[in-house]
Each structure stands twice: as C-alpha cells, then as structure tokens.
Amino acid sequence: MDRLKSLFSLLLITASVMGVLRVVHVSIPMVFPQTRQGLVDVGSLAEVRRLAGFAPLLPAYRPALLGEQAATMTFAYHPQPTFVIVWRAGDQYLSVTQQQGGPMPDHPPLAQPLEAVPGSTWWIDGTRSRVILERGQFWILIETSLPPRELTRFADTLTPY
C-alpha cells in the first residue's frame, strides 16, 4: 500500500508540474506573440494582420493556372516577422516572402535592378526567377518557376490585402 501511495504521489506531482509547464507554454505566446518560435501555419489572410501586425502585400496579378487559393501560408516571428505565401500547380509555383525590417535577404553579387521597377534586385537561379523589392519597412522576395518577365507584373501589382 505504501509502495502504491509513493508511486501515486510521484505521478500526481509529475502531472501537476507538467500541467503548469503546458499552461506556461501555451499562454506565453498569447500574451507575448513574439515569443513563439519557428513557423506558424496561417489559416486565412485576415489572420496575418492579427499575427504580424501588418497587412500582407500580394500581387493582384496571378496567372490563372496557379489557382485562386494559396497552397501554404506561414508566418515566422524570428529572426524578423516574416509572412510567406505560396501558390502552386504541378511544377509551377509563385512564392511571396514579406519580411518586416532586418537586413536585405541574400542575393548573388551579379543580381541586377529590374527595369522600370524601383528598389528591385533580380536574378535567375536555374529554372527559378527571383526578385527582391524594398517597399517601405518591408523586404519582399518574389520567387517563381514562371518565365522571368512575370516578375515585373508581380512587382507592379503588389497591393496590401
């Protein structure tokens, strides 16, 4: 009986401590959203403003073949608040990464400004085209498997959701 009692108290104490730890784990990000580590799946575009505190910038022009609905939407608090949205159809995709502040995303030294698009730096990496845009406090990285000429149209039609 004593044996059972000592085991029961061990289980009870462990469960209590684990319960407290879980409450702390779950409640801290509610009070301090920036404490959340890693990527967070975003359910809807409206949720981005609540999570990030800024409106997502999306290209109003998107080829119909990519579909209307985004394949994935994720948000990261670290190291900079960053929202990533990806449209995908088979091998073709379009990804927009919106980073608030911080250093300019990495780019090769031979990257060039995109003609007629101010604050842009673009380059081709194999079959992928990429452009970095400076828009106020944000760095926008657009990456696509579509032809490079589409980058200008994506950049020109960026609008807040």
Number of residues this chain uses to bind other proteins (CB under 8 A): 24
CB hemisphere CA count around 114 (13 angstroms)? 25
Q: Which one of the spans 12-20, 57-65, 85-93, 140-148 is the region binding other proteins (CB under 8 A)? A: 12-20
Query: Would you count residue 24 as binding other proteins (CB under 8 A)?
Result: yes
Largest CA distance in the chain: 82
117's CB contacts (< 8 A; 6+ apart) are: 131, 133, 152, 155, 156
Give the phi and the psi of residue 152 in degrees, each rounded to 5: -60, -40
Q: Which helix (H) or strand (E) holds 30?
A: helix 2-31
CB nearer other proteins, residue 39 or residue 51: 39
Q: According to CB under 8 A, which one of 1, 38, 68, 127 is a site residue for other proteins?
A: 38
Q: Which one of the spans 24-32, 48-56, 80-88, 131-139 is the region binding other proteins (CB under 8 A)? A: 24-32
Q: Which alpha helices (H) appear in 53-158, and where do they start and end? A: 149-156
Query: Would you count residue 37 as binding other proteins (CB under 8 A)?
Result: yes
Binding interface with other proteins (CB under 8 A): 3, 5-7, 9-11, 13-14, 17-18, 21-22, 24-25, 28-29, 32, 34-39
